[in-house]
Structure 1
Amino acid sequence: MIIESLLDTDLYKFSMMQVVLHQYPAAQVEYRFKCRTPGIDLVPYIEEIRTELKALCQLRFAPDELDYLHTWRFIKSDFVDFLGLFQLNEKYVEIAPAATANGEIEIRIRGPWLHTILFEVPLLAIVNEVYFRRTSGGLDLAEGRRRLQAKIALLHDAPGYEGCKIADYGTRRRYSRLWQEEAVTALRDGLGEQLAGTSNVWLARKLNLTPLGTLAHEYLQAHQALGPRLRDSQVAALEAWAKEYRGDLGIALSDVYGLDAFLRDFDMYFCKLFDGTRHDSGDPFAWGERVLAHYAANRVDPRSKVLVFSDALDIPRVMQLYAHFRGRCQLSFGVGTNLTNDVGPEPLNIVIKMIRCNGQPVAKLSDSPGKNMCEDEAYVAYLRKVFDIPAEQG
């Protein structure tokens, strides 16, 4: 059994789920799986994935897990009570060979947002672990341990980088659950205070680390169907978040419509209200410079704000960004696949993205077009027009 606890997911799933419970309990959504790595045949593993999905849907939150969630200052009692009754239902998930391409599989999740939001992270972890144990089962992890220790030494031993902290963001694309636990334990023991925490709630609890995360792209995408009008959907999403958390969990995601559109909406009010912003596509150096300039233009001291970098990072890239921006703002780095799936075989680039909300298409048009995913090209064109997004973006 790959997933043994419903806590084995990323923190932002719980923080978003609480907003859904309180503000959008009737919302209906659809998610779709995509493997961006070419030439990967996942069809032979469908039955094994289904078996793991069935096991996932048998899980419930244990009393001690609910007690742990109760300790978080931003989690409300009624949400914990709801989780005490919660159970994932496999009827919302369809897994089958794709009709259009040999070797590709189709995974679609359809149903109430409140009851489907927790599928994404464990399902991706299941696909990864099934694939790697079937294609590289019995792999000697000595090479992975060697690479991991080299990364720890590079960051820990470099003069002037004592204040450079990283976090584990690698649950979705990990080599295996046991390897992620081993890797994060090694990071904790080797880096000490330079490990800020982990996005994985189960590991945070088990290893006495800080759970980290706020919101994901799906939250802002859903507001394309939930907001008052499309042009105001980004503002509506940020205001709904502020209504729920009253200044807590204050990191805004900047790349659902690209940085230009984000900065047009991220006015002085949001600059002062939110603790910082997160980068997840496009050139991180150019992004950081523009965000810091935007803070200054809105009479906010950039040194009081956090820039969170989380796009395909490795330790050398983290150190480059730290050297470039240190002293000018607060910094945070989320490292994912490079920590939890760098053991030898090529990692899979797989995602599950929301594509519809309340029957309406939703999309992301980020500063890295390869990350975009929408089945309705007419809607994408309309979205570009509404947010004044160049055609080459997305």
Structure 2
Amino acid sequence: MIVNISRRAHDHNWELDPITRSLLDTDFYKLLMLQFIWKHFPRTRASFALQNRTTTVRLGDIIVLDELREQLENTRKLRFHKSELIWLAGNSFYGKRGIFESEFLEWLDKDFRLSDYELSVQDGQISLRFDGLWTETTLWEIYALSTIDELKTRAAMKKLSEFDLDILYARAKTRLWEKMERLRGVPSLRLSDFGTRRRHSYLWHEYVVIAMRDVLGSNFTGSSNTYLAYNHDLEAIGTNAHELPMALAALAGTDDDLRTAQYRLLDLWQRTYQGELMILLPDTFGTTQFLRNAPDWVADWTGQRIDSKDPFVAGDEYIAWLEQRNRDPRRKRLIASDALDVDKILELHAYFSGRIRFSAGWGTLLTNDFRNCDPQGGDGFDPISLVCKLVEVDGRQAVKLSDNYRKAMGPPEEVERYRRVFGLEGIADIPVEA
């Protein structure tokens, strides 16, 4: 595969080129969660809002609001293609066919729509909010993030000549190759692409995924991006995310109901998917309290994804918990997915080898590592920590505590209430990385 990525970037008509080319251009877990929401919460309303945690980068001064609005309007007009729905219906995911119900696919075909949105600039930052039925708002998360990240990239590109672009991509390709060279052939290493939400651009994302497939072979297990999996015959990777326990917690009536909402969600999820797709994501309100209070049947789930905790600490904690519950950790899966790069991936793989089946979901520094690649010496291509999170469910405020004290989201008074209910055991206070 030889792709002149800089020529393609240079020749693109940025004013007309859509960033979101398909509704499949989202993380696979969003589609699984959408089916879950459609099935159990079809009339529930939900709101999502954008937050730039890299506050030193004033996105409102970088991105032209009309260009963002044009991209969002293009996305809102998209519909699922028949060929895409046939692929979802007939393809095997995690070794099983029929994960998507025929009634759900028919709804996607005939009735699915994205909600409207509110867009403005406030204090130099983009203010973007989506309100509507939960089924209409949930998919906006990834579309909004990848769109804004790419518009940020395009704004930086406007300052470069064609020769500058050649240098930019030559440096980025060299860095990608150096990373892949260190990873290929490592025994039992499992890597997947988790980089949609903070990618440099769609074209670069596709280039990286194809390169990973071709260079790493069986070490590369697939992509969380459903559109790239669809187009390039890859495994679509993903199960669920923080949004679901956040929503059930927001709907809880009492503190006791709040405390147990995270487990009610797991029970409903495993019944919905007949015991498939059972990867825990326990850090929504703190991993330590989650494991300590979990019913015994939770230990029968397939594995755990680590998001906001030191993965060495979180992995040891999970292994110890499994052993206390008389489960063999060597039969379970441990997935690290936060702020990963080559050094940490290799260290984690070596550390957990023979103890648990480790794999890495590689995100930002796979699909958007252009640090120090700009030939003009700027930092406009550096990735930022941009999120679009659930903020309200049926008029009730949503909260995420996280294993990192600084990543907590929600109104301050609600965050403090959640901290009283769930406690702070095992929660660290560390800088937030992109």
With the shorter chain as reference, the TM-score category is over 0.9
Q: Describe the superposition over 1:207-255 as per-residue Cα deviations: whole angstroms up to 9, x where unpaired.
A: 1110000001111100113457212111111111111112110101011
Partner of 1:323: 350
Partner of 2:417: 382
| Alignment of 1:29 onto 2:51 | no
1:304-383 equivalences under 5 Å are 304-343=331-370, 344=373, 345-374=381-410, 376-383=411-418
**Which of residues 78, 95, 105 in structure 1 aligns to 2:119?**
95
Taking only the aligned residue pairs, the percentage that are identical comes to: 36
Cα RMSD after superposing both structures: 1.6
Whether the 8 Å CA contact 2:199–2:205 is kept in 1: the answer is: yes
Whether the 8 Å CA contact 2:286–2:426 is kept in 1: the answer is: no
Of 227-236 and 341-350, the range deviating more from structure 2: 227-236
| Alignment of 1:61 onto 2:80 | yes
CA shift for structure 1 position 31: 1.1
Whether the 8 Å CA contact 2:115–2:136 is kept in 1: the answer is: no
CA shift for structure 1 position 87: 4.3
CA shift for structure 1 position 391: 11
| Alignment of 1:234 onto 2:258 | no
**Matched position secondary structure for 2:64:** helix
Unmatched tracts of structure 2, length 5 or more? 1-17, 374-380, 430-434
1:1-394 equivalences under 5 Å are 1-43=18-60, 44-71=63-90, 72=92, 73=97, 74-91=99-116, 93-98=117-122, 101=123, 103-137=124-158, 139-140=165-166, 141-157=169-185, 161-227=186-252, 229-272=257-300, 274-343=301-370, 344=373, 345-374=381-410, 376-389=411-424
Whether the 8 Å CA contact 1:61–1:86 is kept in 2: the answer is: no
CA shift for structure 1 position 393: 6.0
Specify the code of the residue in structure 2 equivalent to 1:370.
Answer: R
Specify the code of the residue in structure 1 equivalent to 2:408.
Answer: N
For 1:45 and 1:390, locate their aligned partners in 2 and report how far apart those are by CA, in whole Å. Answer: 43
Please give the TM-score of this superposition, normalised by the length of structure 1: 0.94
For 1:381 and 1:330, locate their aligned partners in 2 and report how far apart those are by CA, in whole Å. Answer: 36
CA shift for structure 1 position 118: 0.7
Aligned residues: 385
For 1:87 and 1:18, locate their aligned partners in 2 and report how far apart those are by CA, in whole Å. Answer: 11
Q: Describe the superposition over 1:7-53 as per-residue Cα deviations: whole angstroms up to 9, x where unpaired.
A: 00000101111110111111111111011123222224211110000
For 1:250 and 1:392, locate their aligned partners in 2 and report how far apart those are by CA, in whole Å. Answer: 24
Specify the code of the residue in structure 1 equivalent to 2:272.
Answer: E
CA shift for structure 1 position 317: 0.5
Whether the 8 Å CA contact 1:309–1:334 is kept in 2: the answer is: yes
For 2:297 and 2:425, locate their aligned partners in 1 and report how far apart those are by CA, in whole Å. Answer: 27
Please give the TM-score of this superposition, normalised by the length of structure 2: 0.86
Unmatched tracts of structure 1, length 5 or more? none
For 1:265 and 1:83, locate their aligned partners in 2 and report how far apart those are by CA, in whole Å. Answer: 37
For 1:90 and 1:244, locate their aligned partners in 2 and report how far apart those are by CA, in whole Å. Answer: 25
CA shift for structure 1 position 86: 4.1
Specify the code of the residue in structure 1 equivalent to 2:154.
Answer: R
For 1:22 and 1:262, locate their aligned partners in 2 and report how far apart those are by CA, in whole Å. Answer: 26
